[in-house]
Amino acid sequence: MSTIVEKLRQYSKPGYYDKFDYHWTMTIDLDRCTGCEACVVACQAENNLPIVGEERFAENREIKWIRIERYWEGEYPDIKMGFIPMLCQQCDDAPCETACPVYATYHNQDGLNTQIYNRCIGTRTCAVYCPYEVRYFNWFTYTWDEPLEQQLNPDVTVREKGVMEKCTFCIQRIRIAKDNAKDDNRRRVRDGEVVPACVQSCPTEALVFGNSNDPEAKVSKMMKSPRGYKVLEELHTTPSIVYLTKVQS
């Protein structure tokens, strides 16, 4: 028990993850984001998200690993709409990780907040602890109308009833890139070699993904923008997603 506590303390020391090869990070430029939701469909296609049906939506049981939140500001005619893509923030001090009784979610050496489906027993505690509301529970085993199941991505598990799921930063794509790097005898993957589905699809190039342990990576440069901020930073969750605020004219 004490070793676990010790380990957890170690993890939450600032800079703990700097010594590893990777710290996967995303920046989202809200000045580019138009709320078009291309990322939402990209994620659905890549990660085998279920088609849940109208009734499930009515019960707020839809599953979208990335969603666009919308916030109005002002009243007609001086009204503005602010879009913000919301997905798992891959927090370095993730509240969800402290909650899981079976370590189905923990932080790995790449700075990723993991979710291991076959370990999850479905207590849903993590979802309660998450201030970003980006964890989704499978209340049902979903099926696909034949032949839609032919589209399912073989690199991603199809989840069943009773497990929690959430954004993985497209771990399957990270894995393929690392595999290629090993084949080429490279220690690290190249900047831009890993592109999660949402980042890949973004028509305005608002999303940038990369390894922030590499100071030359594009994402490291984007993070330094004076417009950068983290959502609900005051909760000290230390998210791995840096948003760049929209420029007000």
Partner 1 sequence: MSISVLDALRPAKKPALLGLVVVVGLFVGAWVHGKYFSDRSPIQPIEFSHRIHATDNEIPCQHCHIYADRTPVAGVPSVSKCMGCHNSVPSVRESPEILKLATYWENREPIPWIKVYDVPDYVHFTHKRHIKAGLACQECHGPVETMDRITRVASMRMPWCVDCHTERNVEHGRDCWTCHK
Partner 2 sequence: MAAIAGPAINKMSKISRRDLLQFIGAGGVGVAGGILYGEGVQRNVEFLIPQVVPPEDYSPGVATWYNTVCNQCSAGCGISVRIREGKAKKIEGNPVHPVSQGRLCARGQAGLNVLYNPDRIRTPLQNAAQRGSGNYAEISWDEALTTLGSRIGRLKIEGKAGRVRLLTGRTRGHLDELFAQFMGLLGSEHYQQYDFTYPAAIRAANRISFGVDQLPYYDIKHADFLLSFGADYLGTWLSPVHHSLAYGHLRQGRQGRRGKTVQIEPRMSLSGAAADEWIAARPGTEGLLALGIAHALVNAGNYLGSDRDEWSIALEAYSPSTVSAETDVSEESIVRLATEFSAPGTSLAIAGGATAAGTNAVASVVAVNALNYLAGNLGQRGGVIFNSDPAFSATAGSRQAGLRGMLDLVEAMEAGDVEVLLVHDTNPVYALPENVRFRRAMENVPLIVALSSFHDETTAMADFILPTNTYLESWGDDVPDPGVGFPVASISQPVVAKLYDTLAVGDIILLLARRIGGELPIRLHWATMEEFIKERWREEYELRSAAGEDQDFEAFWRASLEAGVWGQPGAATGDESVPSSSSMIASITDPVSKFAGSESDYPFVLHPYLTATFTDGRGANLPWLQELPDPMTSVVYGSWAELNPVTADELGIREGDILEVESPAGSIRVPALIFPAIRPGVIAIPIGQGHSAYGRYASDRGVNPIHIVATQVDDQSGDLAWAATRVRIKRTGERLRIIKTDGVTRTLGRQILGPKNDHA
Q: Are 52 and 63 in contact (CB under 8 A)?
A: yes
DSSP readout, 121-144? ----HHHHH-TT---EE--S----
Tally Cβ neighbours within 10 Å of residue 91: 24
Q: Which of 8, 12, 16, 36 touches partner 2 by CB under 8 A?
A: 36
Nearer to partner 1, 29 or 46 (CB): 46
| 164 binds partner 1, rule: CB under 8 A | no
Q: Which of 93, 155, 191, 193 touches partner 1 by CB under 8 A?
A: 155
| 119 binds partner 1, rule: CB under 8 A | yes
Q: Which of 54, 78, 183, 234 touches partner 1 by CB under 8 A?
A: 183
User: Hey, is 83 helix, strand or coil?
Assistant: strand
| 165 binds partner 2, rule: CB under 8 A | no
Residue with tokens 């004219």: 249
The amino acid occupying position 104 is A
Q: Which does residue 108 bind out of partner 1, partner 2, none, counting CB within 5 to 8 angstroms by kind?
A: partner 1
Residue with tokens 């973004």: 202
User: Hey, is 245 helix, strand or coil?
Assistant: coil
Q: Judged by CB under 8 A, which stretch of 64-72, 122-130, 143-151, 172-180 contacts partner 1?
A: 172-180
Nearer to partner 2, 3 or 60 (CB): 60
| 235 binds partner 2, rule: CB under 8 A | no
The neighbouring-strand residues paired with 27 are: 208, 242
E strand or H helix at 6, and its extent?
A: helix 2-11
E strand or H helix at 207, and its extent?
A: strand 207-211
Contacting positions for partner 2 (CB under 8 A):
29-32, 34-38, 40-42, 44-46, 51-52, 54, 57-58, 60, 62, 64, 67-77, 79-84, 145-148, 150-154, 197, 200-206, 227, 229, 231-233, 243, 245-249
